[in-house]
A and B are shown apart, each in its own frame.
Chain A
């Protein structure tokens, strides 16, 4: 099978590829500074006999997305996006450049490339699109609503895409990981019991793909946490320090 991984330098992406490598897929690994993955690509070949192609991809450069997808010699059956930029809320509140970057990477960029991918899959009448969104999109919180709002938009985009494509034989899956122990969150002090490892995320995605799930939470507790957070009345919620 041909698998396109967007945001391939992330820890979750690498864990997923390692998990799938035994089955001899061809991986197109796309992301910024993709040459950083050269050792990983060699490792895949030596350890698993798995082929991979490294391709530069910049989510923010939407103009280039058409050309990027065109150059894939084999069209992917699975497209899995790990594109994400946490950004800095406190900077973003005052510096538009930071806000813009958060919006462009998490929402605009992903929507742009998935528009192209979904068109192709729709015409082929098959395929799976997996996209990592976030529980942060379930309700805007004072400490990270810039990031959260882009993920809310992305979650809505994916549910719409799923609604449109389920009649066309294309599977769309939204992944809401909650806390994950990765490079992106290394500066945060995450509570261990509700923090997943990249390997857990990888396993949950593969299981979700096999079962053609719509939305996947990694640790079941997050369903409950987000249920509670969504249902706190706004007049209380706005006063909480979240």
Chain B
């Protein structure tokens, strides 16, 4: 069986582990791998989560398992093998007038990963997370049996797999619903917000916009705390585009990509450089109405900077993402911003988003505000994040498992109230709990 010993880590370069990587070329390969292994094993896509999910002594790479199996061009339904990248999907779909129903901020994730993380995008408040658009999927459980799963056939397995971090089995293929688009462009509103209350008001004001998100300056203090640039977007209709684009509304010019050549030394990102960057970014992004920008720049701005994770140096970083209910007027969020600005460790690229309501077993999203920001790994960071966790927990929020490499088991159990149902479902289909990762051993079981 194809096998490769190597050192692997996810996008945040922490932790790094030695693993045996098997590659699934065909379904038959997957059966052999799973039946023959005595160890714990976990499926792995493109390694774009930030943490220790998809890391185990033995991993099964799905990257070569990447065919499109079915495409209903009338109703916008597609089925693909789990290893296909969102990049390949949008490259294929956009020229045909279709788009992903939900996409995160990078297109270098696999479809299987999107389900296992139940990814969300800028449209969660309107259109939910990825799972809402999944019609069915096929999954291999530890016996080697392949189950065709929908909310009708195996409703418990269906919901436990959405955001289930690969612990319910190896996802082989996924059938999901697409979104019809007229053009490859987005009509964008860009609005400056003076502080946190202002940006929360803007999210309310723009709650009917399909896509919203804000870039937030986590180092700003006092009356400037939470100053942000809010973006709202809609898929542009042909009539909105400049005349010269009317002939080919579904194509966009190809862009040059630049790459971070080497790991930056850890002192490169400090309070001063980040404050300067944040000040610069804020002042150079005044409010602008009805800008037309291509979908690539709107959804995937960081993808044009290849290997941007190297900015945080060899030791890697933690992308801390939590959600906190809106209920108490964002008091929890304010406390956390206070802590971060006091500490001065916040990074640029902090992102604030609004979630709509969602029922879930193990999925991350719940109604409220979600903030994601990067911290380079340094001494004292994990203690600091434990403090932040306590505030998140006290305010009824939770941490995103796809971005977690350090949360305490108690915090997980307290903030994911359905985790017992999740474990029961795993035990029903995988009594030996063969599917296991660093993440699951740390906090799940």
> Which residues of A are at the interface with B, using a C-beta cutoff of 8 A?
9, 11, 33, 36, 39-40, 42-43, 46-47, 183, 186-187, 189
The docked-state distance in angstroms from the alpha carbon of A40 to that of B67 is 6
Partner of B2, one of A39, A46, A187, A189: A187
Partner-binding segment picked from B20-28, B42-50, B216-224: B20-28
B69-88: CB near A (< 8 Å → 1, else 0) gives 11100000000010000000
The docked-state distance in angstroms from the alpha carbon of A39 to that of B71 is 13
8 A Cβ contacts from B89-144 to A: 92
Residue from the set B27, B67, B70, B92 with the largest chain A CB neighbour count within 10 Å: B67
Cross-chain pairs A/B with CB under 8 angstroms, 16 sampled: A9-B26, A11-B25, A11-B64, A33-B28, A36-B27, A39-B67, A42-B67, A42-B69, A42-B70, A46-B68, A46-B69, A46-B71, A47-B92, A183-B25, A187-B2, A187-B3
The docked-state distance in angstroms from the alpha carbon of A39 to that of B64 is 12
* Chain A residues within an 8 Å CB radius of B28: 33, 36
- In the complex, whether B4 has a CB less than 8 A from a CB of chain A is yes
The docked-state distance in angstroms from the alpha carbon of A122 to that of B394 is 81
B227-248: CB near A (< 8 Å → 1, else 0) gives 0000000000000000000000
* Chain A residues within an 8 Å CB radius of B26: 9, 36
* Chain A residues within an 8 Å CB radius of B70: 42, 46
Closest Cβ neighbor of B5 among chain A residues: A189
* Chain A residues within an 8 Å CB radius of B67: 39-40, 42-43
* Chain B residues within an 8 Å CB radius of A189: 5
Asked if A39 contacts B25 (CB within 8 A), the reply is no
Measured between C-beta atoms, what is the minimum distance from A21 to chain B in Å?
A: 12
8 A Cβ contacts from B1-36 to A: 2-5, 23, 25-28
8 A Cβ contacts from B143-157 to A: none
A contacts with B: majority SS = helix
* Chain B residues within an 8 Å CB radius of A11: 25, 64
* Chain A residues within an 8 Å CB radius of B25: 9, 11, 36, 183
The docked-state distance in angstroms from the alpha carbon of A74 to that of B384 is 69
The docked-state distance in angstroms from the alpha carbon of A189 to that of B64 is 19
> Which residues of B are at the interface with A, using a C-beta cutoff of 8 A?
2-5, 23, 25-28, 64, 67-71, 81, 92
| Contacts A11-B25, A186-B23 given; does A42 touch B3 at CB 8 Å | no
Asked if B68 contacts A186 (CB within 8 A), the reply is no
The number of A-B residue pairs with CB atoms under 8 Å apart is 36
Closest Cβ neighbor of A33 among chain B residues: B28
The docked-state distance in angstroms from the alpha carbon of A71 to that of B385 is 67
Asked if A43 contacts B69 (CB within 8 A), the reply is yes
Known pairs A9-B25, A36-B25 / 4 extra A-B pairs, C-beta < 8 Å = A42-B69, A43-B68, A46-B68, A47-B92
Closest Cβ neighbor of A39 among chain B residues: B67
The docked-state distance in angstroms from the alpha carbon of A130 to that of B428 is 52
* Chain A residues within an 8 Å CB radius of B5: 189
* Chain A residues within an 8 Å CB radius of B81: 39
The docked-state distance in angstroms from the alpha carbon of A9 to that of B64 is 12
Residue from the set A39, A186, A187 with the largest chain B CB neighbour count within 10 Å: A39
The docked-state distance in angstroms from the alpha carbon of A115 to that of B70 is 39
* Chain B residues within an 8 Å CB radius of A187: 2-3
The docked-state distance in angstroms from the alpha carbon of A42 to that of B23 is 21
The docked-state distance in angstroms from the alpha carbon of A189 to that of B4 is 8
Asked if B3 contacts A186 (CB within 8 A), the reply is yes
Query: What 9 pairs across the A-B complex have the smallest Cβ distances?
Result: A186-B2, A43-B67, A39-B67, A36-B26, A46-B68, A183-B2, A46-B71, A43-B68, A42-B69
The docked-state distance in angstroms from the alpha carbon of A39 to that of B2 is 20
The docked-state distance in angstroms from the alpha carbon of A187 to that of B2 is 6
Closest Cβ neighbor of A44 among chain B residues: B67
The docked-state distance in angstroms from the alpha carbon of A47 to that of B63 is 17
The docked-state distance in angstroms from the alpha carbon of A196 to that of B71 is 33
* Chain A residues within an 8 Å CB radius of B4: 186
* Chain B residues within an 8 Å CB radius of A183: 2, 23, 25
Asked if B68 contacts A42 (CB within 8 A), the reply is yes
The docked-state distance in angstroms from the alpha carbon of A40 to that of B71 is 14
The docked-state distance in angstroms from the alpha carbon of A189 to that of B25 is 19
The docked-state distance in angstroms from the alpha carbon of A47 to that of B68 is 7
* Chain B residues within an 8 Å CB radius of A186: 2-4, 23
The docked-state distance in angstroms from the alpha carbon of A239 to that of B69 is 53
The docked-state distance in angstroms from the alpha carbon of A36 to that of B69 is 13
* Chain A residues within an 8 Å CB radius of B69: 39, 42-43, 46
The docked-state distance in angstroms from the alpha carbon of A40 to that of B4 is 24
* Chain B residues within an 8 Å CB radius of A43: 67-69
The docked-state distance in angstroms from the alpha carbon of A187 to that of B81 is 24
The docked-state distance in angstroms from the alpha carbon of A9 to that of B29 is 13
The docked-state distance in angstroms from the alpha carbon of A46 to that of B79 is 11
Closest Cβ neighbor of B26 among chain A residues: A36
Closest Cβ neighbor of B172 among chain A residues: A39
Measured between C-beta atoms, what is the minimum distance from A18 to chain B in Å?
A: 10
Measured between C-beta atoms, what is the minimum distance from B137 to chain A in Å?
A: 15
The docked-state distance in angstroms from the alpha carbon of A40 to that of B84 is 12
* Chain B residues within an 8 Å CB radius of A33: 28
* Chain B residues within an 8 Å CB radius of A46: 68-71
* Chain A residues within an 8 Å CB radius of B27: 36
The docked-state distance in angstroms from the alpha carbon of A36 to that of B28 is 8
* Chain B residues within an 8 Å CB radius of A47: 68, 92
Closest Cβ neighbor of B28 among chain A residues: A36
Closest Cβ neighbor of B91 among chain A residues: A47
The docked-state distance in angstroms from the alpha carbon of A59 to that of B67 is 27
Closest Cβ neighbor of B84 among chain A residues: A43
